[in-house]
Structure 1
């Protein structure tokens, strides 16, 4: 049967390799999953950086309050003496 004798779509007569199509589909799914995982990890890293900044700000705040109280005590001691 020649190419001109056939009627209909050329895909009806073209060979189809189901195994390679399945592998390609799985690879595309894995790529999409990897991209989604990378996106989520970037979000988590950003949140962790924000949390770290907030924790350092809290630590510096506590240290500054303690230092201010110590300096206040020293001023009161030197003024009374």
Structure 2
């Protein structure tokens, strides 16, 4: 009928005591905070990956511009 691990007492209903309820509530809040922290961390990691791609694109753009300026006189000197 009830939980096999709890002893049955005639005439009394099973109840949770206040400290146990507070502990369960604290555990639920801690889990929610942890899940929210993981979600924010994933969003930050995604933003960092996008930023890294943009930085590499900028680096390649600068290198390309420098190489174009370096080869421009060579191409102008050819007939």
Q: Deviations over 1:53-74 (max 9, x none)?
A: 0010000001001101111112
In the TM superposition, structure 1's runs of 4+ consecutive aligned residues that sit over 3 Å from their partners are 13-16
TM-score, normalising length: structure 1: 0.75
Whether 1:27 aligns to 2:27 is yes
Bigger radius of gyration among the two: 1
CA distance in 1, matches of 2:65, 2:71: 10
1:47 match:
47
14-23 or 26-35, which deviates more: 14-23
CA distance in 1, matches of 2:65, 2:44: 32
CA distance in 1, matches of 2:15, 2:65: 78
Over aligned residue pairs, what C-alpha RMSD do you find?
1.7
1:63 match:
63
1 or 2, which has the higher helix percentage?
1
CA distance in 1, matches of 2:50, 2:16: 52
2:74 match:
74
TM-score, normalising length: structure 2: 0.77
